[in-house]
Chains A and B, each alone.
Chain A
């Protein structure tokens, strides 16, 4: 079955601590992976995509095809990183979102 799994509904870390939001996927073809973010009172928006291989707001994500994972990482969390994060997969015109992880940064 095609799916995107985000095992953590809530992740709470202290400011300055490393962050890793997990994303695992199941897809038979060659998917494209994305991370979307929704800050409080803002629209859902793209954070980064695997093909661009860039760092956005200090976040990076590497596609690991062997482990079928696309974990989102940041070495030092900031309070403004508190938000809802969604991992998403597209392939053959189909798009699948994970259930989301709420990241809370404690001061």
Chain B
């Protein structure tokens, strides 16, 4: 199960606090992605990055921010502006954008 890791597995935060979710990959992949998984809604793309120092908004980017300072890392910050942050967050990577994606184990964020 190596290759792409997410931490922590579970995260609890108080309303109004920003929180950063970690995603690291050692697959030498150029592209990385963040998804949100809600029951009955499948996976919705938050942000993606095809190359270091560049990223694009997905379908539900409001209230989230990302950075891509290193090829291996693509952290996601859930800001206080995100109206409904409690969810399961999945990170993925692929060799090239559009190719097979490899997924991390996910982080379940609960905002109290």
* Chain A residues proximal to chain B, CB less than 8 Å: 6, 9, 32, 34, 36, 43-46, 49, 86, 90-91, 93, 95-100
Instruction: Say yes or no for B33: interface residue by CB 8 A criterion.
Output: yes
Indicate if the CB atoms of B1 and A32 lie closer than 8 Å: no
- Chain B residues within an 8 Å CB radius of A6: 42
* Chain B residues proximal to chain A, CB less than 8 Å: 1, 33, 35, 40-45, 48, 50, 90, 92, 97-106
- Chain B residues within an 8 Å CB radius of A99: 40-42
Indicate if the CB atoms of B42 and A93 lie closer than 8 Å: no
Indicate if the CB atoms of B103 and A45 lie closer than 8 Å: yes
Indicate if the CB atoms of B98 and A86 lie closer than 8 Å: no
CA distance A46 to B104 in the complex (A): 13
Name the contact of B104 in the complex, choosing from A43, A93, A95 (C-beta under 8 A): A43
Indicate if the CB atoms of A97 and B42 lie closer than 8 Å: yes
CA distance A91 to B97 in the complex (A): 9
Indicate if the CB atoms of B40 and A44 lie closer than 8 Å: no
Q: What is the minimal beta-carbon distance from B93 to any residue of chain A, in angstroms?
A: 12
Closest-by-CB residue of B relative to A41 is: B105
Chain A binding surface, main DSSP class? strand
Q: Which of A34, A46, A90, A95 has the most CB of B within 10 A?
A: A95
Indicate if the CB atoms of A43 and B98 lie closer than 8 Å: no
CA distance A98 to B1 in the complex (A): 25
- Chain A residues within an 8 Å CB radius of B97: 90, 93, 95
Q: What is the minimal beta-carbon distance from B74 to any residue of chain A, in angstroms?
A: 15
29 contacts between A and B (CB under 8 A): A9-B40, A32-B98, A34-B100, A36-B101, A43-B103, A43-B104, A43-B105, A44-B90, A44-B92, A45-B102, A46-B100, A46-B101, A49-B100, A86-B42, A86-B43, A90-B97, A90-B99, A91-B98, A93-B50, A93-B97, A95-B33, A95-B45, A95-B98, A95-B101, A97-B43, A97-B44, A97-B45, A98-B42, A99-B40
